[in-house]
C-alpha cells in the first residue's frame, strides 16, 4: 500500500471516531429568554451609589452613561424565577452591540442516560477567531457558576454517571458584541462515548505528527504503520455493540503498548507546556467587559482542572484577579485553593502587562510593586522572578535594572518575533540595560512546524502565546528555537485568549499523549513556570550566553509611539501628579512624626493607592499605545480626570497642613519645586493668584529675579527654587509694581521678521518657520543651510495592516505643507520672554502656535494648539540641524540611550520611527541641539534631521482617533557642550513639571529658620536627580529614589538637613533593606554608577 493510502486510511478512522465521540440524545427546544437590553430592565441603569458619590466628589463625569452600560450589572437576574420569561425558539436569533441576555432551560436524566457521561453542547453559529464578537457565556448549573462556554469550549458535562430522574436547572448568562441579531442557540444533550473519545485522541495525535513530516522520513513511515495496525483491530460495523466497544478498547491498548509506552528517543528535547489565557485588559472591548471575560475564563480553567488533575495553568496580571475578586468572590476563593495546591501559578510580577516604551521609570517600578504586593497578600507568593510581557510592543533599555533591583531574574516575551525586517540570533540570552544590569531573556518560540524551511528566504518568526498544544506546534516550538547548543528544554504557552477560555479539553487530551513521547515529536512535560526555570538554570550552568545591549526595539507597531496623543499626554501628567501628591503628603507625614500634637497617621494611603492603580490600569499595552476602541478612551479620559482630582485634593490638603501652624503668615506666595534639583524657573500667576497674594494692588514680591505682565493679564516671575523644596515670595512694601520695575530690554525687534534675544538672532517666515537661528555665544547657525526649522509637515499615513499600531517606512513619500492663516507676528516682549504668534490651516484643521524666547534660558518653547479634523494623516514638527554627529542621545526612563543617526544596516533603517521620552539631542564636540517635549514620544532621526510626531489619526479600531483639540509644548534648546554639560535633563524636567503654588508660608520656615527657602534634600551633583519621595509601604520611614542621569560614575554628597533622619538604608525597589548608608546626621555619602537608580529608606 502506498504511503498516501496508509495516511488516508488512518484519517478516515479518525474522522469516523470524531463523529462517534458523542451520541446526541435530545435537542433542547424548551428555552426561556430574558433580554437584558430591554428598556424596562435598564431604566435605572446608572453607576452605583458609591461611584456616583466619588464622581461628584472629584467633579468628573460618571464612568459611563446608561446607553453604554445597558445589560451590565444584571447578572443577579440569572437565578430568578424564569417561568414568566418569553420562550426562545430554535428559529429565533439574538445579539447586538455589547449585548447581554439570559437563557434558561432544564435537562432531565432519563433511563436511557443511566450510568453514562451526560452533558450538553451549544452552537451559536459564530466563528470570530479573536473572540471580540463571539458569544461568551457564563454557565450556572443548579444555581452555581460552573464554567463558561465560547467558540472553543462548547460542551459542559453534567454528570460522569447519570442518575435517572435528576433534573439540572441551567442558566446561561450570555454576552455577544455583534452588529445585530445574528446568533442562534442550538442546544443538544449528549452522551460522551468515552472509548471512542479515547481512541480518537490516541490516533489523531500521531496522525497529525506524521502529516508534519516529509514523505521520505522513517519516523513518518513508522507512525503510519503503527496506526494502520491499530486500525486493523477495529470493528466499526455496528456502533454501540459489544464488539464495537471491545475493538475500541483493544485498539487503544495496542497503541498504548506499541506507541505511547515505548521509549523512542531517550535524548529527545523536552517542551515544557504551560496552560494560559492571555486576556487583554482592554482592546476591542471596554474595561467592564474585561471583568466578565476574566470571570468566564477563570471559571473555565477551574472546571477543567476538576476533570484533568494534571492540568497546570499560569496567569499574570493582578488587575484581572482583583476584577474576579470583586465580581465573583466564590470563583476567586477557588483560585486561591488551586494556587495553594501548586496547579495554578500566579506570577509575572507586574500589576498588568503594561506598555514598556511610553511608561515612566517610576510607573514601571509601581507596576511591579503593586503586582508583587497583591500576589503576596492574596496568595502568599513572596518570590516572583519573571517579568511576563508576551504582547508588549518593544522594551527600553532601562528595564533590566528595574527588574534586577525588584528581584526579577527573567524576562519573557513573544513579540520580538514579529519584527518586519531583522531577527535577533538568540531565544535565550542575557539582556543588558543601559547601566550594565543583566537579566536572562526568554523568547517563546511556539509556531507551527515547517517540513520545508528551506523554501523561505528568511525564517518565519511570528510566534504565539496562544498555542494550540498539538503535534505541529510542539515540533515547531523546538524547530524554531535558536539555542539548541545551550539548552534542550523549551517552553510553550497554550490556550485561547481574550475570552477564549484558555486550554480546551482537546488540548489537555493531546497533552497527556504528548507527555509519553512519540517518534519525531519532542516529549512534552505539563509544567509550572517555576519548574521550567529551574530546569533552564541547570541547563545553562557554566555556559556562555550571548548578550544583547540596550533597547529591544520592535520593528513593527511603530505608530503606537504616537496614536491617541492626548491619552499619552494625560498619562505623563498623571505620572507627575501622583508623585507630587505623594511627595507633599510624605513630607507632611514625616514632619507630623516629629510633632507631638500632630496626627501621625495623616497619610492618604488609600487615595494614593487608588490613583496609582488607576494610572497603572491605563498603562496597559493596548490602552496607552493607542490601539483600543473609542470607548476605552472615553473611560480613560474619565480616569485621568479622576486621578488629577484626587492628586489635587491631596496636594491642597498637604500644603494647607504644612502651613496651618505657622503663626507668622503674611501676604505672599510660596512656590514648591517638585523637581529634584535647584533651578531658575518661570512662575505663572493668573489674575486670581495675583489678587489672592496682593500683587494686583501695585506691590512687589521678594526673592524674584524678574517679572513680566502679559497682555492676557497673567504675570510671569522668575525665581531660583530649591530642589524638592519651596521658596516663599513675600509681598514687598515697595509701591512700584514688578513689571514697571523691569527696565532691561532683552529682546530687540530688528525688523518685522527678525528678533534678537539674549541668546540668538532669529528670523522667521509667515508660517512661523525659523529661516535662521544664529547662536550668539557659539557664533554659528543652528539650522542646516537651505532648510527651515519648525516646519509643520503632514504625511499620508495608510499602513498595510494594523492602522493604529503601524507606521510604514513609505509614509514619507507623500506629504503636504500647512498654509498661513495669519502672518507670524510678535505679540509679547519683556524682561522674561518674547512671544511670536502664528496661525496655520490645513484642510479642515487649524494650528496655532506661540513661539516663546526666554531671557534666562536657551530654551525656545513652541506652545501649540491643534484642532485636528483629518484621518489617516500624520503630523510632524521638523528641524534640520547643522550638527555633525553619528548618534542621537534619546531619553528613556532613568537614563539616555545613544542611537545611530545613520542608516548603514537594515537594523538602523528599520528604526525610522523611534521612541524617546522628554528629549532627543544631537551633539558634536562643543555644541549641540536638543528637542524637548511635554508628552510626545515618536521621533524620526537621520543625520542632522529630527522630526517629532505631534499626532497620527488612524481609523481602526477607533474611527475618529486623534480628532479634536490637542495642546502641547515642544521646545528647542541649542547649547554649548554636549547634552550632559548643558543639563538638558534639567530643562526637560522644567518643561514637564511646573512649580506648585500656595498662598501661605510653610511652617517649615519659621523665625528660627529665617530663610525663605526650604529644601527637603539636596544632592551635590547636578547629574544625580531625586525623582520620587513616598512613605514606605511598611510605614517604617520615608522612601527616596534618585538616579544618575548622565552616564557618569559619581561620588555623591547628600544634604538631609531638611529631614534630619536618624538612619539611612539603601534598599531594593521593593523597599527591602540591603545596607546601611554612612550618615553623620546631616550628610550622607555614597557612590552611584552610570545610570544607576538608587532607593533609600530614611528612618
User: What is the predicted pLDDT for the residue at 740?
Assistant: 52
User: What is the predicted pLDDT for the residue at 597?
Assistant: 64
Average of pLDDT values for 429-455?
A: 97
pLDDT tens-digit map of 841-871: 999 999 999 999 999 999 999 999 999 999 9
User: What is the predicted pLDDT for the residue at 456?
Assistant: 81
Sign of CA dihedral 904, 906, 910, 911: negative
* Nearest residue to 314 via CA among 96, 150, 526: 526
In angstroms, rounded to a whole number, what is the distance separating the alpha carbons of residues 273 and 271?
6
Answer whether residue 1075 shows pLDDT above 50.
Answer: yes
Q: Which helix (H) or strand (E) holds 156?
A: strand 155-159
- State residue 1085 phi and psi, 5-degree precision: -130, 140
User: What is the predicted pLDDT for the residue at 51?
Assistant: 67
Under DSSP, is residue 574 helix (H, G, I), strand (E, B) or coil? Answer: helix
Cα 80 to the center of its chain, rounded Å: 39
In angstroms, rounded to a whole number, what is the distance separating the alpha carbons of residues 363 and 370?
10
CB 915 within 8 A of CB 981: no
What is the chain's percent helix, strand, coil content, to nearest 5?
30, 30, 40
Cα 296 to the center of its chain, rounded Å: 23
Where helices occur in 886-1003 by DSSP H, the ranges are 906-910, 984-992
CB 1078 within 8 A of CB 1085: yes
Buried b / exposed e over 124-146, threshold 16 CB at 10 Å, is bebeeeebbbbbbbbbbbeeebb
Under DSSP, is residue 289 helix (H, G, I), strand (E, B) or coil? Answer: helix
Cα 769 to the center of its chain, rounded Å: 36
* Nearest residue to 124 via CA among 93, 97, 147: 93
Question: C-alpha distances in angstroms, 742 versus 738, 739, 831, 857?
Answer: 7, 5, 6, 18
Average of pLDDT values for 320-348?
A: 98
The grid cell for 385 is 522572578
User: What is the predicted pLDDT for the residue at 65?
Assistant: 46
Residues 6+ apart with CB under 8 A from 376: 382
In angstroms, rounded to a whole number, what is the distance separating the alpha carbons of residues 209 and 202?
12
* Nearest residue to 824 via CA among 885, 865, 767: 767
In angstroms, rounded to a whole number, what is the distance separating the alpha carbons of residues 690 and 972?
30
CB 995 within 8 A of CB 683: yes
Q: What letter does residue 259 receive in the DSSP assignment?
A: I
Q: Which residue has the higher pLDDT, 41 or 616?
A: 616
* Nearest residue to 235 via CA among 254, 250, 220, 225: 250
Answer whether residue 76 shows pLDDT above 80.
Answer: yes
Ramachandran region of residue 142, left (φ > 0), alpha (ψ -120 to 50) or beta?
A: left
Buried b / exposed e over 469-493, threshold 16 CB at 10 Å, is bbbbbbbbbbbbbbbeebbbbbbbb
| CB neighbourhood size of 326 (10 A) | 12
User: What is the predicted pLDDT for the residue at 10?
Assistant: 97
pLDDT tens-digit map of 460-484: 778 999 999 999 999 999 999 999 9
* Nearest residue to 429 via CA among 421, 438, 437, 420: 438
- Give percent of the chain above pLDDT 90: 88
| CB neighbourhood size of 997 (10 A) | 18
Answer whether residue 243 shows pLDDT above 90.
Answer: yes
Answer whether residue 66 shows pLDDT above 50.
Answer: no
Answer whether residue 374 shows pLDDT above 90.
Answer: yes
User: What is the predicted pLDDT for the residue at 128?
Assistant: 72
pLDDT tens-digit map of 792-821: 999 999 999 999 999 999 999 999 999 999
Average of pLDDT values for 664-677?
A: 87
Question: C-alpha distances in angstroms, 157 versus 19, 120, 187, 198, 299?
Answer: 18, 7, 13, 16, 14
Three-point CA angle 81, 84, 87, nearest 5°: 110
Residues 6+ apart with CB under 8 A from 471: 205, 206, 208, 209, 212, 449, 510, 514, 521
User: What is the predicted pLDDT for the residue at 665?
Assistant: 58
Question: C-alpha distances in angstroms, 117 versus 28, 252, 516?
Answer: 18, 19, 26
User: What is the predicted pLDDT for the residue at 3?
Assistant: 66
Average of pLDDT values for 917-932?
A: 99
User: What is the predicted pLDDT for the residue at 540?
Assistant: 98
Average of pLDDT values for 662-676?
A: 82
- State residue 489 phi and psi, 5-degree precision: -125, 120
In angstroms, rounded to a whole number, what is the distance separating the alpha carbons of residues 171 and 143?
8
Q: What letter does residue 951 receive in the DSSP assignment?
A: E
Average of pLDDT values for 571-584?
A: 99
Q: What letter does residue 1078 receive in the DSSP assignment?
A: P
DSSP 577-646: HHHHHHHHHHHHHHHHHH-TTS-TT---HHHHHHHHHHHHHTTBTTTTTT-S-HHHHHHHHHHHHHHHHH
CA-based radius of gyration for the chain: 33
Average of pLDDT values for 958-984?
A: 98
**What is the length of the chain?**
1099
The grid cell for 116 is 453514562
The grid cell for 994 is 511646573
Q: Which residue has the higher pLDDT, 1008 or 1019?
A: 1019
* pLDDT interval class at 67 (50, 70, 90): very low
* Nearest residue to 637 via CA among 6, 61, 27, 1030: 61
Under DSSP, is residue 724 helix (H, G, I), strand (E, B) or coil? Answer: coil
Residues 6+ apart with CB under 8 A from 988: 891, 918, 919, 930, 932
Mean pLDDT across the chain = 94
Where helices occur in 752-905 by DSSP H, the ranges are none
User: What is the predicted pLDDT for the residue at 129?
Assistant: 64
CB 381 within 8 A of CB 346: yes
* pLDDT interval class at 44 (50, 70, 90): low
Answer whether residue 553 shows pLDDT above 70.
Answer: yes
User: What is the predicted pLDDT for the residue at 276?
Assistant: 98
Please count the helices (runs of H) and the strands (runs of E) in the chain: 22, 56
Strand pairing category for 780-781 and 760-764? unpaired
Instruction: Give the chain's end-to-end CA distance (angstroms, integer).
Output: 83
The grid cell for 436 is 550594565
Range with lowest mean pLDDT among 60-69, 79-88, 921-930, 1033-1042 = 60-69
Residues 6+ apart with CB under 8 A from 1080: none
Residues 6+ apart with CB under 8 A from 902: 886, 908, 942, 943
Cα 859 to the center of its chain, rounded Å: 32
| CB neighbourhood size of 108 (10 A) | 12
pLDDT tens-digit map of 211-234: 999 999 999 999 999 999 999 999
Residues 6+ apart with CB under 8 A from 65: none
DSSP 390-404: TT-S-B-TTHHHHHH
Three-point CA angle 102, 104, 107, nearest 5°: 150
Q: Which residue has the higher pLDDT, 74 or 875?
A: 875
In angstroms, rounded to a whole number, what is the distance separating the alpha carbons of residues 322 and 166?
37
In angstroms, rounded to a whole number, what is the distance separating the alpha carbons of residues 526 and 503?
12
> How far is it between the farthest Cα atoms of the chain?
112
What domains are there in the chain, each with its CATH number? Answer: 3-19+196-260 (no CATH), 22-36+71-192 (2.60.120.260), 44-70 (no CATH), 270-556 (3.20.110.10), 563-661 (1.20.1270.50), 668-743 (no CATH), 748-982 (2.70.98.30), 1017-1099 (2.60.40.2220)
Average of pLDDT values for 710-715?
A: 95
Helix axes 318-327, 361-379, angle to 10 degrees: 50
pLDDT tens-digit map of 88-128: 998 999 999 999 999 999 999 999 999 999 999 999 998 77
Amino acid at each position: 500500500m502506498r504511503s498516501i493510502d496508509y495516511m488516508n486510511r488512518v484519517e478516515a478512522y479518525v474522522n469516523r471516531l470524531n463523529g462517534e465521540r458523542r451520541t446526541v440524545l435530545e435537542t433542547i427546544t424548551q428555552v426561556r429568554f430574558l433580554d437584558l437590553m430591554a428598556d424596562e430592565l435598564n431604566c435605572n441603569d446608572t453607576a452605583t451609589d458609591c461611584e456616583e458619590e466619588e464622581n461628584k466628589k472629584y467633579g468628573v463625569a460618571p464612568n459611563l452613561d446608561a446607553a453604554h452600560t445597558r445589560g451590565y450589572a444584571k447578572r443577579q437576574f440569572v437565578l430568578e424565577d424564569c417561568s414568566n420569561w418569553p420562550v426562545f425558539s430554535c428559529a429565533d436569533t439574538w445579539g447586538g452591540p455589547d449585548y447581554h441576555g439570559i437563557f434558561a432551560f432544564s435537562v432531565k436524566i432519563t433511563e436511557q442516560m443511566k450510568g453514562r457521561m451526560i452533558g450538553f453542547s451549544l452552537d451559536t453559529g459564530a466563528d470570530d477567531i479573536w473572540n471580540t464578537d463571539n458569544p461568551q457565556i457564563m454557565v450556572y448549573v443548579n444555581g452555581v457558576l460552573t464554567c463558561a462556554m465560547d467558540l472553543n469550549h462548547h460542551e459542559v458535562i453534567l454528570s460522569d454517571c447519570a442518575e435517572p430522574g435528576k433534573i439540572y436547572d441551567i442558566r446561561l448568562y450570555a454576552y455577544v458584541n455583534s452588529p445585530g441579531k445574528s446568533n442562534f442557540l442550538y442546544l443538544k444533550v449528549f452522551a460522551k462515548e468515552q472509548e471512542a473519545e479515547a481512541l480518537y485522541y490516541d490516533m489523531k495525535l500521531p496522525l497529525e505528527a506524521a502529516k508534519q513530516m516529509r514523505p521520505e522520513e522513517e519516523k513518518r513511515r513508522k507512525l503510519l504503520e503503527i496506526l494502520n495496525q491499530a486500525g486493523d483491530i477495529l470493528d466499526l460495523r455496528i456502533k454501540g455493540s459489544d464488539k464495537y466497544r471491545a475493538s475500541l478498547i483493544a485498539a487503544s491498548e495496542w497503541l498504548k503498548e506499541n506507541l505511547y509506552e515505548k521509549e523512542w528517543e531517550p535524548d529527545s528535547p523536552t517542551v515544557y507546556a504551560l496552560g494560559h489565557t492571555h486576556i487583554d485588559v482592554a482592546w476591542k472591548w471596554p474595561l467592564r467587559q474585561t471583568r466578565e471575560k476574566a470571570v468566564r475564563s477563570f471559571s473555565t480553567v477551574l472546571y477543567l482542572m476538576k476533570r484533568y488533575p494534571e492540568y497546570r495553568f499560569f496567569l499574570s496580571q493582578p488587575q484581572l484577579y482583583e476584577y474576579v475578586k470583586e465580581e465573583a468572590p466564590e470563583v476567586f476563593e477557588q483560585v486561591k485553593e488551586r494556587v495553594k495546591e501548586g496547579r495554578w501559578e500566579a506570577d509575572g510580577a507586574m500589576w498588568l502587562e503594561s506598555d514598556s516604551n511610553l511608561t515612566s521609570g517610576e510607573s514601571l517600578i509601581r507596576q511591579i510593586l503593586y503586582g508583587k504586593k497583591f500576589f503576596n497578600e492574596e496568595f502568599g507568593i513572596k518570590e516572583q522572578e519573571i517579568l511576563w510581557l508576551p504582547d508588549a510592543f518593544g522594551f527600553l533599555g532601562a528595564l533590566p535594572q528595574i527588574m534586577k533591583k525588584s528581584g526579577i531574574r527573567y524576562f519573557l516575551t513573544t513579540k520580538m518575533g514579529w519584527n518586519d525586517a531583522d531577527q535577533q540570533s538568540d531565544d535565550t540570552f542575557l539582556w543588558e540595560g543601559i547601566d550594565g544590569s543583566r537579566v536572562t531573556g526568554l523568547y517563546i518560540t511556539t509556531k507551527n512546524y515547517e517540513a520545508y524551511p528551506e523554501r523561505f528566504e528568511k525564517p518565519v518568526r511570528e510566534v504565539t502565546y496562544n498555542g494550540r498544544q498539538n503535534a505541529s506546534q510542539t515540533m515547531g516550538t523546538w524547530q524554531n528555537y535558536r539555542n539548541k547548543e545551550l539548552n534542550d528544554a523549551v517552553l510553550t504557552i497554550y490556550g485561547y485568549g481574550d475570552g477564549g477560555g484558555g486550554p480546551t479539553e482537546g488540548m489537555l487530551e493531546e497533552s497527556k499523549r504528548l507527555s509519553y513521547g512519540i517518534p519525531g515529536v519532542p516529549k512534552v512535560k505539563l509544567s509550572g513556570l517555576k519548574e521550567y526555570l529551574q530546569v533552564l538554570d541547570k541547563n545553562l550552568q557554566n555556559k556562555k550566553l550571548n548578550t544583547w545591549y540596550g533597547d529591544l526595539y520592535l520593528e513593527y507597531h511603530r505608530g503606537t509611539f504616537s496614536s491617541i496623543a492626548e491619552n499619552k499626554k494625560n498619562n505623563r501628567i498623571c505620572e507627575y501628579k501622583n508623585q507630587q501628591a505623594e511627595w507633599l503628603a510624605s513630607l507632611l507625614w514625616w514632619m507630623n512624626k516629629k510633632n507631638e500634637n500632630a496626627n501621625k497617621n495623616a497619610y492618604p494611603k488609600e487615595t494614593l493607592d487608588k490613583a496609582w492603580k488607576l494610572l497603572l490600569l491605563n498603562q496597559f499595552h493596548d490602552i496607552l499605545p493607542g490601539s483600543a476602541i473609542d470607548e476605552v478612551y472615553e473611560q480613560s479620559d474619565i480616569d485621568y480626570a479622576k486621578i488629577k482630582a484626587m492628586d489635587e485634593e491631596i496636594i491642597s490638603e498637604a500644603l494647607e497642613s504644612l502651613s496651618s501652624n505657622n503663626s507668622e503668615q503674611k501676604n505672599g506666595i510660596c512656590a514648591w519645586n517638585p523637581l529634584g534639583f535647584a533651578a531658575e524657573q518661570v512662575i505663572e500667576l493668573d489674575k486670581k493668584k495675583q489678587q489672592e497674594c496682593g500683587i494686583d494692588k501695585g506691590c512687589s514680591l521678594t526673592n524674584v529675579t524678574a517679572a513680566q505682565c502679559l497682555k492676557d493679564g497673567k504675570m510671569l516671575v522668575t525665581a531660583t527654587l530649591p530642589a524638592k523644596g519651596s521658596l516663599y515670595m513675600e509681598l514687598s512694601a515697595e509701591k512700584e509694581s514688578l513689571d514697571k520695575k523691569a527696565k532691561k530690554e532683552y529682546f530687540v525687534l530688528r525688523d518685522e521678521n527678525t528678533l534678537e534675544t539674549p541668546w540668538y538672532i532669529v528670523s522667521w517666515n509667515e508660517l512661523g518657520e525659523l529661516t535662521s537661528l544664529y547662536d550668539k555665544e557659539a557664533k554659528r547657525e543652528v539650522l542646516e543651510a537651505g532648510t527651515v526649522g519648525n516646519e509643520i509637515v503632514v504625511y499620508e499615513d495608510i499602513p498595510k495592516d494594523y492602522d493604529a499600531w503601524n507606521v510604514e517606512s513609505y509614509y514619507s513619500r507623500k506629504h503636504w505643507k500647512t498654509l498661513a492663516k495669519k502672518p507670524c507676528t510678535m505679540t509679547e516682549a519683556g524682561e522674561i520672554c518674547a512671544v511670536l504668534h502664528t496661525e496655520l490651516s490645513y484642510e479642515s484643521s487649524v494650528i496655532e502656535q506661540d513661539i516663546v524666547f526666554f531671557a534666562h534660558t536657551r530654551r525656545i518653547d513652541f506652545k501649540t494648539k491643534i484642532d485636528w479634523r483629518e484621518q489617516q494623516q500624520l503630523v510632524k514638527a521638523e528641524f534640520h540641524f547643522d550638527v555633525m554627529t553619528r548618534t542621537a542621545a534619546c531619553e528613556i526612563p532613568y537614563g539616555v540611550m545613544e542611537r545611530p543617526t545613520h542608516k548603514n544596516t537594515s537594523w538602523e533603517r528599520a528604526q525610522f520611527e523611534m521612541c524617546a521620552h522628554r528629549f532627543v539631542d544631537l551633539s558634536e564636540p562643543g555644541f549641540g541641539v536638543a528637542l524637548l517635549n511635554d508628552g510626545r514620544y515618536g521621533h524620526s532621526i537621520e543625520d542632522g534631521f529630527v522630526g517629532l510626531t505631534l499626532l497620527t489619526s488612524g481609523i481602526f479600531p477607533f474611527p475618529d482617533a486623534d480628532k479634536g483639540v490637542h495642546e502641547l509644548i515642544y521646545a528647542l534648546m541649542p547649547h554649548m557642550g554636549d547634552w550632559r554639560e548643558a543639563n538638558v535633563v534639567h530643562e526637560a524636567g522644567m518643561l514637564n513639571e511646573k512649580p506648585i503654588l500656595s498662598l501661605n508660608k510653610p511652617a517649615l520656615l519659621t523665625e528660627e529658620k529665617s530663610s525663605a527657602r526650604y529644601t527637603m534634600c539636596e544632592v551635590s551633583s547636578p547629574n544625580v536627580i531625586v525623582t520620587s519621595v513616598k512613605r514606605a509601604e511598611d510605614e517604617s520611614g520615608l522612601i527616596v529614589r534618585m538616579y544618575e542621569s548622565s552616564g557618569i560614575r559619581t561620588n555623591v554628597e547628600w544634604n538631609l538637613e531638611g529631614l534630619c533622619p536618624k538612619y539611612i538604608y539603601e534598599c531594593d525597589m521593593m523597599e527591602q533593606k540591603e545596607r546601611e548608608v554612612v550618615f553623620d546626621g546631616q550628610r550622607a555619602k555614597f557612590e552611584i554608577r552610570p545610570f544607576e537608580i538608587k532607593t533609600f529608606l530614611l528612618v
